[in-house]
Structure 1
Amino acid sequence: MSLLTRLAFRVEVLKRIIAVVQRIAKNNLALREDCEKLYVENNGIFLQLIEMIAEFDPIMEEHLRRVHFQERDIHYTYLGPKIQNELIQMLTAEVRSLIVAKTKHAKYFTVILDCTPDASHEEQMSLVIRCADDSENAIVVEEFWIGFLKVNETSGLGLFIELKNILSNLELAIDIIRGQGYDNGSNMKGKHKGVQNRLLEINPKAFYTPCGCHSLNLTLCDMIMYKVLRSSHYHNTRWESYVESVKPIKDQTSKIRDALIDLTNTSYDSKIKSEAERLTPFELENFEFLTGMIIWYKLLYEINIVDKFLQSEKMDIDVAIGQLKGLISFLQEFRESRFDQALVEAEHIASEMGIKPIFREKHIIRRKRQFDDINSEKLLRHSLPGEAKRAIDVLNYLKTMDGCYPNFYIAYRVLLTIPVTVASAERSFFQIEVV
């Protein structure tokens, strides 16, 4: 076989190996396991896929035959961990280069950061960049994961220095950042020494938005701990868990009460018996508890829907605001009119349990809250097509107008770069497998 033929053959082999590495990485799977030899057990997904391809592909079949018989002209198998890591690094560099090119084309972008300790208890920071990509016909809001940054100093200054360094390495100008999104940690959101403030000192246009999901969770956790669950041992968790915890109690209150009474009469464990005796009269046979349980299930159900919606990486801040306004409207409406519906449902449960539907203490507080277009804006409103309901729809329409509304085009691009949550950065800690 001539040198040229051998080179062409190796190129074809590498194409297949690169395709395998790409597919494994796309599915967040580990390449290797205990063994790194062909045709043995536990040799990992990478080698197993190579073996499978060889069953149908003559080029890979010939390559594995040469590797297996260790022919003299095979100096490099391209199947070991070193080449796998090199390919991953090359693919990473290429993908990152494409992301940077898209970000530069979009011009304005947002940084989203989140931190967590790794397996060795060293702090690592995940960086996500959000921008409105208008390089194609239709504008798309994208959130790109850039990578993990090793953090030696977890103060606001230390985190900010790492952010500046990576942006400098990517050749992304810090002065065109238009948004920053972090969780509610003081080193991130701190108004004096946090990353937020340090970035604002350099770029006052880097609008900070606290994570919507974190803020929603913290607010509702405070409400829960203060009001309904003040005597329970709940831990901060996802709202779906709260909903799933309350639902069986709501649906089977009478049966749970009967089970607790049975425990009171039969248990030999004094602690269990005492807890059962306390829960029965003071909680399950308390009409205020029953009413609160019904109310919180309905509230948590709606909150969980909004919380899940906000975590979408395609979420725009205008849609997020609409969702939160809708949730606020629901809460206001519930307070004004749906409370009576909850009372009826609680009375039904109380009737089944033989409990008088009477509050031991009545605390019903009713409060009411009250919540120049320029000519070009009026003109734009009248010219917008009826299907343009969201900010991304308006931006796509503006793109077709050939620069008629340049300021609005910029404003909507900036609007869509502003992050709603740090969910994308958080997900990166769970989706990236160690290779």
Structure 2
Amino acid sequence: MLANLLDGLFNGVSIGAVLLLAALGLAIVFGLMGVINMAHGELIMLGAYTTFVVQNVFKAMGSPWSDFYIFFALIAAFIVTALVGLLLERSVIRFLYGRPLETLLATWGVSLILQQFIRSVSWQFSIGVGLFCVLFFGAIAFIAKRPDYEQIQVRVIAVLLPLSAAIAFIVSNLVGNSFKLAVTKPWFGTQGVDVTAPKWLRGGLVLGTSQLPYTRLFIIALTIVCLMGIYWFLNKTAWGLRIRSVTQNRGMSACLGIPTQKVDAITFAIGSGLAGVAGVAVALLGSVSSNTGQAYIVDTFMVVVIGGVGKIVGSIMAAGAIGIISYIVGSNAFAPLAASSPVLSGILEFFATASMAKVVVFALIVVFLQFRPAGLFPQKGRTVEA
């Protein structure tokens, strides 16, 4: 019985580590800017697919490079998702601050776009999208230098948007037909892809009758490193100080000369990069598909809400609690205790599934929020007033 409980505790902590890693970036972004980023799950997905791509590159290089691809994948996933997050913030989010419903709808649309992008992206598709971005955003950046740009902005966009799209569509089709790219299959498609853990992450640490998988131990260690890195950045660097200042009082920070828009962009990029790191961890646990992010977005928001908006310590406690409860309920760890009671045993078996475990967790969260609607660590002072 004790061994089962220890196994349940370890696996619950490992699940909580994945949730915390996924929620860490969201907690920072939501706490600072009040942005409900429904595309956060898709950023996790992009990190997982980046891991898959890096793995294939290093496999082609052979040993010993293939044994250490995971460290390069972490760096690549952070950079890729940080850049995507920065583009999202500069092109969409920056115009919707203070309007949470609009940010929710806009980022939900972005999440659908990213899902379809993964399903459809090919060389021809990439050429079209890249050319459109160069034409449209390049023209906008050039015309924005005019002093009367604000007066003509709507007309400029109305002309450039369809013109850039038409040119990109025509050129990508011509290039695709000329180089036989039109018949090329999508890079990823709708089928899931698998990421193989390096040799040194296979197997597990044997403790008595239990075995602790090296993969989950690595994820727990990765989560601890990310927490330490975020703590150091927020408390020991100039930009971390600026971020905390804007979090506490945006208006006063702007009056003191802190570039709040740049702070928003950096914060969103860091939060998105952390989602990419979470994607690396998710890729080690199972198959990766275009729907991978949807499996984590709800649990990620639960961690942020239960812990308290913008509270890292609360997110740690919430992720651990949700992970442990989910695993213990879903794995029927208390079955030996109920063996003498057929009724109790039947009840535990009924709830010992992943779906019913999630129902139990949701029910407990609903009850918890009745007593503490602001989470474990509610905001205080000027942050609440803002």
TM range (shorter): under 0.3
Q: Name the structure, 1 or 2, with higher relative contact order (CA <8 Å, separation 6+).
A: 2
With the length of structure 1 as denominator, give the TM-score of the two structures.
Answer: 0.20
Larger Rg: 1
With the length of structure 2 as denominator, give the TM-score of the two structures.
Answer: 0.22
More strand by share: 1
More helix by share: 2
